[in-house]
Structures are given as structure tokens and as C-alpha cells.
Amino acid sequence: MNLLTTIKGSMLENYFPEGWDLEKIDECCSHSPEEITERQSFWNKDFTPISCASLSDFDTMMGHEIAMQIRETKEDGRKLVLILPVGPVGMYRWAVFFLKQWNIDCSHVYGFNMDEWGDAEGNTLAPDDPGAFQNTMETIFYGPLGDLTVPEDQRNFATKENLPTYGPKIEALKAEGAKLVTIFGIGRAFHIAFWEPHFALDYDSVEEWKSATHRVAAKLHPFTIEQNAITSFKSRTTMVPARANTVGPGLFLQSDYIIGGCDGAPGRGMMWQGMSLWVALRYGPDIWVPASFMPTLPGKLFFLEELAGPLGADVN
């Protein structure tokens, strides 16, 4: 007895995105923890998932990876475009630490925050609002870097006015030889940024979907609302906006390198990101599962060891 055998006629029958294959999702999650890093046929040859024994290891290793991209491009005399998330965030403290230790300034870095909360018109929270992603980035990354920080005019945030300029700006920077690196987490609904699975309904082909650079006032899936209520608003669902502005696959799938992170295990055996991790690694590229495309790109995906499972009932 499980969801697959009891969903018919239930309140969940039309809840999930219509393109999800629930049996396939279940199969992705049925493997032993030891199998999590087994290479799949659709993975990029330079894509590697990396298990982290603890949250402190995760934050440090992911932060080091970000700092190394900044350092290497600086030493190569190359501009660096970073598509940046607010979630996960623990790695930024360590990125700042390593950059300060190495005395590497970020004058060559161009930051593009991947998303921001919005309303039906695409209006966003005030930059200094505690819930605003811009406020978070200024507080935990740009501010602490001090004199080494990214210049203010090279920081981009996903307002309804600025988000549509991301594509042309990034295209121009890449034409100058800039490296594009996307840093990301994987959503409960398998999104990247706030690019949700149900957006697939609006495109006639995979190629059309892959060319979409952004959405303003995007409608978020209920999975996403509840994920953020748990992770960012201390369970207070009523504080979570139902819409957001977000980058799309037309930007993050153009990445020269990716740095992913899955740390969704709040403790006491609970987790929200185990299924998200397994499906991203095993499902195979599918526009109804945006995260499934990320292993097709070169880079690393750091994840908490416990997210590998085994996934199932826990009586403890």
C-alpha cells in the first residue's frame, strides 16, 4: 500500500505535474546508498556527484569550489559570470573565507541572482526586506568580502526590469571570453532556480523549452511553497509568496561549469531533498523534471551523505 496504489480518487490525483512518471520517480529512489554515484549514460563525462559526511563538510567543500572558480578565472585573466542561488547558502561563508585567505579580489566577477520572490506583476520585495534574496546575498556574500567584493554595478538581481536583461548581458560577456558558472540547489519539485516542472505545458518542443531565458511573475508549485515554508520561513506558509521571477534553462543550461548542492536534511532523520537528489541523478533529461538536465553539464554536485538513503519508512 503506497501512493501509487491509493492515489486514484484521492485529493492528490491531479496534484502532481501531469508529465511526472510517478513509477519512474519511485524507481529512481529505490536504490541503495552505495549506488548514488554510479555513472549514468546521460551524464556529462566531467560531471561528478560528491558525497559529504556532514553539513560542515558540505558548506566548506562547496564554498571552496566556488572560490576556486573565482581564483582560477582571476589568474587566467578571464571574466567570470556567476548565476547565484539563495538556497543553499552555507557555502558563501567559506567562499568568502578562502578568497580572503588567498587575497583574491572579485573585480572580474559578474553576479546574476537566479530568482526573487514576486507578485502577479513581477514586483519584488524591497532590497532590504529580510525575506528578499538580494538582502541575503548582500549580507552573506557581497558585504563580507569587503574590499575584495564584486563591484556593485556588476551585481544583478531578478527584478522585473533587470531580469529580462540577463540574457543579453551574459551573451555579451561570454562573447568576451567570460566563463559561465551556475551554482544551484534542487527543489522539492525538481526545479532549478524557480523554473518549475509545470512550465513544460507552455512549450511545443524540448528545444523551445531549453531556449527560454526567464520568467517574470512565475506561478510556483505547491511543493515549492511548502519547501520554502520549511526551509526559510520557520513553517509559516502564509509568509511565502506564490510567485517569483526566475532565470530559465536558456541561461543555466548554457553553463560552462556547474556547482550544485543538496543539504536538505534538517535533522532527527528527517529530509526533504533525498527524492530530489535521486531523481536529478537517475531520471534522465526531461523538461518535466528540470533538474534532470544538470548532470548533462560539466561540474560537481555536492550532497549530504544521508540524502542517499535508503529512502523509506523510518520507525526511529
pLDDT tens digits, residue range 192-205?
A: 999 999 999 999 99
Query: What single-letter DSSP state applies at residue 51?
Result: E
Q: Residue 316: its pLDDT value, please?
A: 61
DSSP for 73-103 reads HHHTT--EEEEE-SSS-THHHHHHHHHHHHT
Are 166 and 193 in contact by the 8 Å Cβ rule? The answer is no
Q: Tell if the pTM clears 0.85, that is, is over it.
A: yes
Are 250 and 167 in contact by the 8 Å Cβ rule? The answer is yes
pLDDT band at 315 (very low <50, low <70, confident <90, very high): low
| Percent of the chain with pLDDT strictly greater than 90 | 98
Q: 177's torsion region: left (phi>0), alpha (psi -120 to 50) or beta?
A: left
Q: Which three cell numbers stand for residue 253?
A: 543550461
Are 189 and 136 in contact by the 8 Å Cβ rule? The answer is no
Contacts of 176 (CB under 8 A, 6+ apart): 79
How many Cα neighbours within 13 Å face the side chain of 176?
A: 13
Query: Domains in the chain, start-ordered, CATH in brackets?
Result: 36-270+297-308 (3.40.50.1360)
Task: Give the sign of the dihedral formed by CA 270, CA 272, CA 277, CA 283.
Answer: positive
Q: Which three cell numbers stand for residue 206?
A: 524540448
3-state secondary structure of 121: coil
Q: Residue 314: its pLDDT value, please?
A: 77
Q: What is the mean pLDDT of the chain?
A: 97
Burial class (CB in 10 A: 0-12, 13-18, 19+), 116: buried
Pick the closest to residue 95 from 60, 126, 127 (CA basis).
60
Checking DSSP bridges between strand 243-247 and strand 109-113, what pairing results, if any? Answer: unpaired
Q: Residue 185: its pLDDT value, please?
A: 98
Q: Residue 230: its pLDDT value, please?
A: 95
The answer to whether residue 57 scores a pLDDT higher than 90 is yes
State the average pLDDT over residues 273-283: 98
Q: From CA 114, how far away is CA 54, in angstroms rounded?
A: 26
